[in-house]
Structure formats: structure tokens, C-alpha cells
Amino acid sequence: MKISSIPQFYRNVKRWTEILAVLSKYGLADWLSQLNIDFVKDQLKAPAGEALARQSRSARIRLALAELGPTFIKLGQLLSTRTDLIGVELAEELKSLQSSAPADPPDVVREIVESELGQPIDELFAEFDDTAIASASIGQVHRARLKTGESVAVKVQHAGIDSIVREDLDVLAGLAMLAEKIPEFAPYRPTATVAEMARTLRRELDFGREERNLMQFSALLADNPHVRIPQSYDELCTPRVLTMEWIEGIKFSESSRLAAEGYDLEEIARRGVDLYLEMIFNFGFYHADPHPGNILILPGNVISLIDFGMVGRIDEGLREDIEEMLLSIVNRDTPMLTALIMRIGQTPPGLDERALANDVADFVGSYAGQSLAQFDLAGALNDMVEMVRRYHIILPTPVSMLIKVLVTLEGSSRILCPSFSLMEAMQPFQRKMFLRRLSPARQFRKMRRMMVEVEQLASILPRRITEILDQIQAGKFDVHLDHRGLGPSVNRLVLGMLASALFLGSSLMLSREVTPVLFPVGTYFGMHRLSLLGLAGCTLSILLGLRLLWAIGKSGHLDQRD
């Protein structure tokens, strides 16, 4: 831990204590779950009364995050998108984390709105309902009516939530620094992962960013008659208050109600999937939380998206790699899929590429016999993520988020139409992908980027070469070598040399009967006049040798062959 972080640690010591107490309780429950004593398992309980030791490990993690408060709930929801880090089972469990929180009192809400917008509520709205219709971990939503008559939803940030999140993120950063020291956690880069999720969480605290997302989606989908995006009211929006159009519709998840009111469920599923595929593969900017509760159905089978706090962006290069990956799964191209996984993901040192290729071949073979109409894309993506996780390959966040969106999208579509196939819906987009690859506009953009890079290289290369030649001529050219992994080997070599030298020196002292001696008079068990210093040195050298052999054996390189 850095010295600069010590004041921060003491400032958050109370929160540290609370978090460690909760983690200790759930860790003890994990240990108790392995015992075969029923009455002991019922001693530790969650706030809702569940016996912790009788829950699965994934459920205990979810309950612990829920008990730790809003920041950790959001952390769990963000982790649910990183199946490459935590696995499919835990990710599915964390999806059920609910961001519910008590609503702030009406006087607190009014004070926040008035301080943010600079006017009394009665002057801003014709009506303002003090009772929140929903309250999540970050903010709560109130229904209101403007002076001009439009119904609006006003999203207000909870009082003090920014300081709570900041304090919890400081504690999480400290926990991540400790986790970096544990070999089992180090491959998952805890510090980088927490920093990345902290950036995402801080973005959610800025309602101004959500307003900009609303405006961007409205512009992109303005020509689509089957989609409706809520309109935001810029003059009534700040980083802590978001005012947008109130949309009345039926939730995507209420399939029975939609069927009873005469909606075409198959058409709605197809339009929803087409909308998301257009956002992903045409715009590279998409609504990243296609939960059934965030999709409303309006008359005429019109789809409305709400809650734009979480969005995904993918650049053109990554989008092409993802397209190639999906096409490789469909076309059963094992070498291409293996190469793409290694190119997109961050591979660990010493990756067994041959074993990975074999597993990819098995993966492709297990889905080779499925027709497009019955292709289980969600199962295929989940199996691929589990395979990648076994090899400690870390996927970029945009890829993990996109996989989660596609899996959720297929599941949501099958709520309305059980026979719906996402792979069949992707067929037209696959043809568009192929044509876009061959388009002159794309080739021109690539050539232009290459020309810019070549021009930059041509401008700096002569100067760099001149600098290197000047350093060589002046005798100041240095080559710095980084011997990775050489430290432990050198330490063992030095320890072995010390043990050998100590043994030889001690043997000489024994043979020369260097004083002080043991058994100076008479013979005991055939021994007499043993040098105490020599005997101590021999004993110590033998212990050092055994310690060295244990260390080499533990590393697995005692007699291992390449």
C-alpha cells in the first residue's frame, strides 16, 4: 500500500470495518457449508433471514454484495457482464441483483431538484408527484407534468450517493491492491478491473451523460418508424436531475398481456432483434441493458427503449473481429476462431496454444450439427466464454458486454416467441457484413488510415535513426535487457552456492576438530571431538538444501521436461 493512501485508509476505516465484517461472515458461512452438522448451518443468516450456509457459493456472493450496499450492488451488476472473469454460473446469479433502495423523503427530493434547476418546483412543473414510482441504488423516479401539459419522468439522484460511492470505491481499490498480492487472483488483474468498473460507475452518477445518450439514439433512430426513444428536456436536466418524456406501454416481459391485447409477439421479437443488431453492427453504439423491464411495447408493435445509463460502444476494427468470430462459429472455421480468440483477448504467458485449438475444435464440433433455426447462440457464447476463462484469457470489456447483450437478447426474444432464432435473424446482417467488407468506402478509409500512419512514420524515422547513430558514435548507446522470471532462478542458485560453501567449510572444521568441541574425552557412538561450529554449519547447510529442494519441487520444475 502506498504511503499516500494511508490517510485515505484511516478516513474510511469505519467502512473498512463494516466491509470486512460482512466478508468474514460470508466466508465463515462458506466454511460451515462444508460441515455435516445441520443445526450449525442455521446459525448465520442474511438480513432477509436466509441460512447462509445452505445457499450455494454464488448465492452467498450475491447476498454479500446486496448487504454491502448500492456501490457493491452496482459492482455485482457490472461483474455479471464479465463472464470471462467470473464464469457463467456466478454471472447468472449476479444478474438477479436488484438495485432497490429506500426513496428519499419528499422535502429532500424537492430541495435537490430546486437547487439543481434553480427554481421552485411549482414554477418548473404544473404537477409533481412526491411519491417515487421507482427507487434504485443511484436515484429515484417521479412522475410530473410540465406547464405545457406533457407528462414527464423526473429522475433524481439520491442525496449523498456520490460521497458513498466515492468512499466505497476507495475501499474497493484497497481490496484490489491486496488481491494483487494473492497468486490465485493476480491473473484477473483486480486493480485494473476495479478501476475500469469505477469509471463505469462514475459515468452512471452523471445524468448528463445519460441525457446525451438519449439524444444520440434519438438522432440515429429518427427514421425508424418502429422505434420510439423518449425525448429529453435539456432545460430541465443537470448531472443530478434528468427529465424525459413519460412513455406509457406494456413491458416486454408481459407476454400474456401482450397476447391478450392482440399484439403480434413474433413480429415484436423480430423487430426488437433487428433493432439491436442494427445498433451493434451498423452504428457500433447500442443500448447495453436489454432487460425485459427496459423495453416497452406501444400500439402498432412499436418498441420503446428506456434507461440509457449503460450503453456499449465498439470501434470498427473490434466490430469486424466480432463479426468474424460469429461467422467462424456458424461456418465451423476452427483455425480462424482460435486465431481470433488469441488476437482479441489478452493471453497469459505460457498459453498452451495446441490445447486451446483442440478445445476450440471440440466446441465448434458440438455445435456443428445444429441447424440455423435451432442454433443455440446463447449456449454457444456461454460455452466459448467458459473455455476462454479456463485458459485465463481476458476479453476486452466491449466484447464481454456484447456477449452478455446477445445472450440476454436471445433469452428476452424467446419469452415472446419460444421458437425464435437469433441466428436466423442475423442472416441478413451477415450478408451486409460481407458486402460492407468489400465496399469501396471501407477500402478507402483503410487506405487513408494506412497513408496517415506511413506519413507519420516517414516523418519521424530519419530523425530517430540519426539520434541512434549519434549515440553510437559518441559511445553512449545503451541496450537495456529485462530478464523476466530470472529473479527466482538467481536466488535459488545463490542459495545453493551458499549451502554448498557452508557444507564444505563446516566439513573442514569437523575434520580439523576446530574448538570448541563436543565429546572432548572418550568416544560416544563412535564420535569424539566434534567441532560444534562445524556440526552447526553442516546442520544449517542440510536444512538450506532441503528448503531449496522443496522450493524447486513446489514450482513444478524439479525434473520437468519441455
Q: Residue 63 and residue 480: Cα distance in Å, rounded?
A: 50
- For 33-95, give the DSSP string: TTS--HHHHTSSB-TT--BGGGS-HHHHHHHHHHHH-HHHHHHHHHHTT-HHHH-HHHHHHHT
Residue 430 pLDDT grade (very low, low, confident, very high; cuts 50, 70, 90)? low
User: Grid coordinates representing 527?
Assistant: 564420535
The answer to whether residue 7 scores a pLDDT higher than 70 is: no
Q: Residue 436 and residue 457: Cα distance in Å, rounded?
A: 29
Q: Residue 451 and residue 518: Cα distance in Å, rounded?
A: 84
Please tell me which residue, 478 or 264, carries the higher pLDDT value.
264
State residue 409 phi and psi, 5-degree precision: -65, -45
What is the per-residue pLDDT for 142? 93
Q: Are 354 and 338 in contact (CB under 8 A)?
A: no
Of 412, 377, 396, 119, the closest CA to residue 291 belongs to 412
- Mean pLDDT computed over every residue of the chain: 79
Sign of CA dihedral 469, 470, 473, 475: negative
Q: Which of 26-40, 60-74, 233-247, 464-478 has the lowest mean pLDDT?
A: 26-40
Which helix (H) or strand (E) element contains residue 224? none
The share of the chain scoring above pLDDT 90, in percent, equals 12
Residue 202 pLDDT grade (very low, low, confident, very high; cuts 50, 70, 90)? confident
Q: Which of 45-49, 297-301, 512-516 has the lowest mean pLDDT?
A: 45-49
User: Grid coordinates representing 550?
Assistant: 522443496
pLDDT tens digits, residue range 162-184?
888 888 888 888 878 877 777 66
Question: Which residues, in sequence order, are CB contacts of 189 under 8 Å at separation 6+?
Answer: 394
What is the per-residue pLDDT for 161? 86
The whole model's pTM is what?
Answer: 0.69
The answer to whether residue 469 scores a pLDDT higher than 80 is: yes
What is the per-residue pLDDT for 153? 92
Which of 25-34, 237-246, 385-394 ranks highest by mean pLDDT?
237-246
Q: Residue 229 and residue 216: Cα distance in Å, rounded?
A: 10
Helices (H), 139-284: 161-180, 190-204, 207-220, 255-260, 265-278
Looking only at the bridges linking them, the beta strands covering 227-228 and 302-305 are parallel
Q: Which of 5-19, 52-66, 307-321 has the lowest mean pLDDT?
A: 5-19
Please tell me which residue, 290 or 234, carries the higher pLDDT value.
234
Instruction: Give the residue numbers annotated as catalytic, written as ranges.
Output: 289
Of 249, 246, 208, the closest CA to residue 127 belongs to 246
What is the per-residue pLDDT for 49? 57
Find where cell 470505491 sits: 169
CA atoms within 13 A on the CB side of 539: 7
Please tell me which residue, 394 or 244, carries the higher pLDDT value.
244
Looking only at the bridges linking them, the beta strands covering 517-518 and 530-531 are antiparallel
pLDDT tens digits, residue range 82-126?
776 777 777 777 777 765 667 889 999 999 999 999 999 989 999
pLDDT tens digits, residue range 441-456?
777 777 888 888 888 8
Q: Which of 297-301, 308-312, 330-334, 379-383 has the lowest mean pLDDT?
A: 330-334
The answer to whether residue 45 scores a pLDDT higher than 60 is: no
User: Grid coordinates representing 552?
Assistant: 524447486
Give the gyration radius of the chain's Cα atoms. Answer: 32
Find where cell 456520490 sits: 162
Distances (CA, A) of 190 to 62, 180, 207, 388, 426: 18, 6, 28, 18, 35
Instruction: Tell how far CA 23 is from the center of its chain.
Output: 20
- For 170-201, give the DSSP string: HHHHHHHHHHHTSTTTGGG-HHHHHHHHHHHH
CA angle centred on 106, ends 105 and 109, rounded to 5°? 90
**What SS3 class is residue 475?**
coil
Q: Residue 227 and residue 371: Cα distance in Å, rounded?
A: 31
In this prediction, residues 365-386 reach a mean pLDDT of 74
What is the per-residue pLDDT for 4? 45
CA angle centred on 312, ends 311 and 318, rounded to 5°? 170
CA atoms within 13 A on the CB side of 172: 26
Q: Are 548 and 496 in contact (CB under 8 A)?
A: yes
Residue 39 pLDDT grade (very low, low, confident, very high; cuts 50, 70, 90)? very low
Q: Residue 432 and residue 285: Cα distance in Å, rounded?
A: 17
In this prediction, residues 539-558 reach a mean pLDDT of 79
The share of the chain scoring above pLDDT 70, in percent, equals 83
Residue 557 pLDDT grade (very low, low, confident, very high; cuts 50, 70, 90)? low
Looking only at the bridges linking them, the beta strands covering 139-146 and 151-157 are antiparallel
In the DSSP assignment, the letter for residue 158 is P
The answer to whether residue 72 scores a pLDDT higher than 60 is: yes
Q: Are 243 and 237 in contact (CB under 8 A)?
A: yes
pLDDT tens digits, residue range 493-543?
888 888 889 888 888 888 888 888 877 766 666 667 778 888 888 889 898
pLDDT tens digits, residue range 121-167?
989 999 999 999 888 778 889 999 999 999 999 999 988 888 888 88
Of 193, 155, 188, 156, the closest CA to residue 173 belongs to 193
Find where cell 488476437 sits: 343
What is the per-residue pLDDT for 5? 46
Distances (CA, A) of 108 to 25, 136, 239, 305, 413: 34, 16, 17, 29, 40
Residue 482 pLDDT grade (very low, low, confident, very high; cuts 50, 70, 90)? low
The answer to whether residue 429 scores a pLDDT higher than 60 is: yes
